[in-house]
Structure 1
Amino acid sequence: MDMKHLIPIFVIFFFFMPTTSASVALAPSSSNTQSFSFSKPQGDQTFFILSNDVDPKLQSICEETDYPIECLTTTIPFLDENVAIIPVSILKVEIDATHNKTKEAIDKAY
Structure 2
Amino acid sequence: MDMATGDLTLPATDGRALAIEARGLVKRFDGVAAVNGVDISVPEGAIYGILGPNGAGKTTTLRMLLGIIDPDEGTRRMLGHDNPQDIARLVGYLPEERGLYPSMKAYEA
Bin of the TM-score, shorter chain as denominator length: under 0.3
**Which is strand-richer, 1 or 2?**
2
> Could you tell me the TM-score, scaled by structure 1's length?
0.21
TM-score (norm 2): 0.21
